[in-house]
């Protein structure tokens, strides 16, 4: 029984890093793309943004739908605009 509990705990602790938000940049915020313009560019590409925020890891994070209508959560580098991590739900 004790072994099972230890295995379960190690699996939970090991998997917690899988869901961690990425670190996108350490660049000064003066070099970041304008948030509203960035969102407008994504919308022009067909994305529907339900929620937009800046993460603790200095990413632009969006929750919404991609151009194919799939529910998505995407982390972007705010300097380059490049998608750093994409999760489909």
Nearest-angstrom CA–CA distance, 12 and 62:
26
Query: Residue 87: beta bridge partners?
Result: 73
Number of structural domains the chain divides into = 1
Determine, yes or no, domain membership for 32: yes
Per-residue pLDDT of the chain (89 residues; tens, 9 = 90+): 655 544 554 555 444 445 577 999 999 999 999 999 999 999 999 999 999 999 999 999 999 999 999 999 999 999 999 999 999 99
Question: In terms of residue numbers, what domain contains 56?
Answer: 21-88
Structural domain contains residue 30: yes
Rg (CA), the chain: 17
Q: Is residue 12 part of a domain?
A: no
Q: What distance in Å separates the CA atoms of residue 67 and residue 59, rounded to the nearest whole number? A: 21
Residue 57 lies in a domain: yes
pLDDT at 21: 77
1 within some domain: no
Looking up residue 62, the CATH number of its domain turns out to be: 3.10.450
Q: Is residue 53 part of a domain?
A: yes
- Distance, in Å, from the CA atom of 65 to the CA atom of 48, rounded to the nearest integer, reads 5
Query: Is 79 a domain residue?
Result: yes
Task: List b or e across 1-22, with b for residues whose CB sees 16 or more CB atoms inside 10 angstroms.
Answer: eeeeeeeeeeeeeeeeeeeeee
Q: Kindly state whether residue 40 falls inside one of the protein's structural domains.
A: yes
């Amino acid at each position: 029984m004790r072994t099972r509990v230890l295995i379960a705990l190690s699996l939970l602790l090991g998997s917690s890093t899988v869901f961690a938000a990425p670190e996108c940049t350490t660049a000064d915020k003066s070099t970041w793309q304008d948030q509203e313009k960035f969102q407008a560019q994504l919308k022009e590409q067909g994305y529907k943004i339900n929620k937009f925020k800046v993460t603790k890891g200095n990413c632009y994070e969006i929750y919404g739908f991609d151009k194919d209508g799939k529910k998505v959560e995407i982390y972007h580098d705010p300097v380059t605009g490049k998608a750093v991590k994409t999760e489909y739900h």
